[in-house]
Structure 1
Amino acid sequence: MSSNSNDLVRQHTHDIELGVSDVLQRHITRHVVPAKPVSQRRLDFEHKRPRILREMMAEATGVFFYVFPGIASVASFTLATTNPVAAEIGVPIFGSLFQIGWAFAIGIAFAIITCAPVSGGHFNPAITICFAIWEGFPWKKVPHYIFSQIFGAFMAGMMLMACYWPEIQAAKAIDISQHGTTVYNGGVASILCVFPNADQTNQGYLFFMEFFVDSYIGIVIWACLDRANPFVSPQSVPFTIGIAYAVMVWGFAGNTISTNLARDLGTRIVAAIFFGKEAFTASNSYSWISILVNIPATIFATGYYEFLIRDSLQKIQQGHAEHKEGEEGLHRHISRVTGVDVANQAWDSNRGAMNSAEGVREKQF
């Protein structure tokens, strides 16, 4: 029996372990559906869509993809105390800070993979502002992006409330009966947005912690976006940024961190709708720290990278940027740094090459 016949026999008898790669490859090849041709009607429709609308929807969707799995993980962990199943199999199975960190990390990766090709994948008002400061992102688009990011987080919060409504109502009743409020760290309102621990009454300390954590994440993000960085490929960027966020969650979420204006403000509005204005006023109005600190922290982090770490010459040499004054400006810079007139050196090299070629021709003839 031929090899092809043996393969067919193995397929019919489900005994394919000897030729798995070959069989599966042929199977996939036989069942590939050709791509549907793109119609002119489709192209016309896509061309008529406003560019800014696509970018806004991508930013809102990306933030939703990042926030929703994160707060859903927080919900499963927090609401385990009101789940009757937890009494039988144990509360820890419903989650931990480790699980929550990974939920946010993978959510960030999915957000970048899904939406960054359209909008650039900011998903954070502080990053949008930093792009405007350092990378020439149009300032006129900044308000549109920030609004979309907050809206995406708001929709994530609303969707979570819809998914967990019975459990949240049960937990709310317990919180009110035992604590008189739902707005505290560990309370049902903290599923949506963060609140400091009961012993964290020093807002200077909370400011410092938030500033440091957000700066750490900001530097990693800016390093990942540095096109001259040889250690980060485009494929690894979503997961690298996500893990940087997760690391800070694992280290500091127990001490209260926010990290993102949109992620906090959007869900905090939802918390205020369902649990009252205490969502903004609790803990001596801590909310201003969780909402606003990440902007100056991220500006500081990206400035730190731009002034102390960035190598723009390497970026130019790799073809990812060009000198503002063109080749002449680049030659002048290299001449000042090396003490060598690059233009004259290039001319001398060309002239030497021509003289050598002329000498070869003379010998030939």
Structure 2
Amino acid sequence: MAPHDNDVHRLQTNELEIGVTDALQKHVTRNVHQPKPVSQRKIDFEHSRPRVLRECMAEATGVFFYVFPGIAAICAFTLSTTNGLGEELGVSTFGGILQIGIAFGFGIAFAIITCASTSGGHFNPAITICLAIWQGFPWKKVPLYIFSQVFGAFVAGLLLMGCYWPEIQAAKAADIAAHGTAVFNGGAASILCTFPNPGQTNQGYIFFQEFFVDSFIGIVIWACLDPANPFVAPVSVPWTIGFAYTAMILGFAANSISTNLARDLGTRIVAAIFFGSEAFSYDNGYSWISILVNIPATIFATGYYELLLRDSLQKIAAGHGVHEDGEEGLVRHLTRVETAQTEQGFMNSTLNKKKGEANV
């Protein structure tokens, strides 16, 4: 079929992509200006930046993108429910677990989209450690990445305090007047970091919950990073990981979860600055669970995936990996598999033949 006249015109002008041209061509004439050539000065500047600095700034920025909208949603929720302050502030209709889950999930997706191409998109100290354990990430970069991640959450907490300063101060004063402190779940300090519910007096249950919530998220992340996984395209990875976080928040946020060392430690430091050291000592030092459990849980999750679920042969077949001994090593492996299968088939047929003779 011959191309339409509009298609011919589009090919000649090379102005707009198909679809947009068809919609606009009959109404206006529009020229798309090509971007100016990249100058050598710009290239020199970009190449002069230390690679590790770019990676650390990307990690800090990504954690900021993840934490800032999440704790802002928590702030709106807390202010709307604490001591009737929400009605006074006019935000009583804004807030809930659903809103918090969506904010954190979208924040994680935006973090991966904006920064992962520079640093790899860890945004979680436990993920950085697991990548060093299983995937060869350089151990010398691990402390730098973890510091950057905690710093990003710290900056997010500071900026939130600046954005909501009058409201948070009013909530703090109301909490102190009613309870003698603002450091408790539902108090002003809980805007920044997690505190257990009043009835959660057994830290073993909190540990158990945090461990398996973080393990759930860790397995999903590791599945998304598996190049042999045909069900996750690169463009869907940010949203898949974000939805995993959202699912856990919707299910367990009302029962105290942290999910990320950097997210909790960075904002807990801010809470300690503005609300006192009780931010770390509350409820017999609950903070050690919210800060540290994420690491062993994620190591468990990624180890589970590596030892039981991963199939490296699929990765090699898809062109995303190689055998350590090259093509010869792969051929030897496949030969051994075929030989073993042949021998097993021969043994099965012999056994079946003997059974038949015995039946006769």
Name the CA distance, whole Å, in 2 between partners of 1:96 and 1:35: 44
Q: Which residue of 2 aligns with 1:256?
A: 256
The question of 1:41 aligning with 2:47 is answered: no
User: Equivalent residue for 1:246?
Assistant: 246
Distance 1:64 1:88, change over 3 A: closer
Deviation, 1:81, is 3.9
Q: In 2, are the aligned partners of 1:261 and 1:291 still within 8 Å (CA)?
A: yes
Is 1:102 aligned to 2:102, yes or no?
Answer: yes
Aligned position for 1:112: 112
Structure 2 CA distance for aligned equivalents of residues 157 and 117 of structure 1: 25
**Residues 272 and 34 from structure 1, CA distance in 2 versus in 1: closer, same or farther, beyond 3 angstroms?**
same
Counterpart of 2:228, as a letter, is A
When structure 1 is superposed on structure 2, of 29-38 and 142-151 the one drifting more is 29-38
- 1:111–1:90: structure 2 CA closer, same or farther, 3 Å change rule? closer
Identity of aligned residues (%): 73
Q: Residue in 2 aligned with 1:178?
A: 178
Contact 1:182 1:188 in 2 (8 A): yes
- Alpha-carbon distance, 1:30 to partner: 1.5
Distance 1:73 1:28 in 2: 43
> Does 1:86 pair with 2:77?
no
Q: Summarize the Cα distance change of 1:53–1:90 in structure 2 as closer, same or farther, 3 Å threshold.
A: closer
Corresponding residue for 2:329? 329
Q: 1:27 to 1:174 in 2, by over 3 A?
A: farther
Matched, 1:308 2:299: no
**1:187-224 CA deviation, whole Å, 9 max, x = no partner?**
00000000000010111111100000000000000001
1:225 aligns with 2:225: yes
Aligned to 1:350: none
Give the 3 Å change call, closer, same or farther, for CA 285–327 of structure 1 in structure 2.
same
Contact conserved, 2:76 with 2:91, CA < 8 A, in 1?
A: no
- Cα 1:211–1:273 change in 2 (3 A) is same
Q: Which runs of 5+ in 1 are unaligned?
A: 5-18, 342-365
Q: Which 10-residue stretch deviates more, 33-42 or 142-151?
A: 33-42
Which residue in the other structure is 2:22 paired with?
A: 22
Partner Cα separation in structure 1 for residue 105 and residue 257 of structure 2: 15
Q: CA deviation at 1:87?
A: 5.8
Q: CA deviation at 1:86?
A: 2.6
- Deviation digits for residues 14-59 of structure 1, max 9, x if unmatched? xxxxx99734367797142311211000011011100000000000
Q: Does the CA-based 8 Å contact 1:334-1:340 persist in structure 2?
A: no
Q: Distance in 1 between matches of 2:187 and 2:224?
A: 36
Determine the C-alpha separation between the residues in 2 that align with 1:166 and 1:81: 16
Matching of residue 70 in structure 1 with residue 70 in structure 2: yes
Aligned to 1:192: 192
Equivalence for 1:318: 318
Note if contact 1:149-1:262 (Cα within 8 Å) is conserved in structure 2.
yes
The one-letter code sitting in structure 2 at the alignment partner of 1:255 is: N
1:168 aligns with 2:168: yes
**Which amino acid letter does the alignment assign opposite residue 327 of structure 1?**
E
- 2:216 and 2:301 in contact (8 A); partners too: yes
Question: Does the alignment pair 1:274 with 2:300?
Answer: no
Residues 215, 85 of structure 1: alpha-carbon distance in 2 compared, 3 angstrom cutoff: closer
Pairwise CA RMSD:
2.2
CA contact (8 A) 1:214 1:294 kept: yes
Amino acid at match of 2:87: A
Deviation at 1:101, TM superposition (A): 0.2
Does the 8 Å contact 1:183/1:275 carry over to 2?
yes
2:48 alignment partner AA = K
User: 2:265 maps to which residue?
Assistant: 265
Equivalent position of 2:56 in the other structure: 56
- 1:241 CA drift (Å): 0.1
Alignment size in residue pairs: 324
1:142 match: 142
What secondary structure is seen at the aligned counterpart in 1 of 2:200?
A: coil
Q: Distance in 1 between matches of 2:158 and 2:254?
A: 24
Give the deviation of 1:175 after TM superposition. Answer: 0.3
TM-score normalised to the size of structure 1? 0.85
Corresponding letter in the other structure for 2:174: I
Corresponding position of 2:299: 299
Relative distance call for 1:230 and 1:26 in structure 2 (3 A) is farther
Q: Distance in 1 between matches of 2:282 and 2:134?
A: 36
Q: Deviations over 1:309-332 (max 9, x none)?
A: 001000000000000111111111
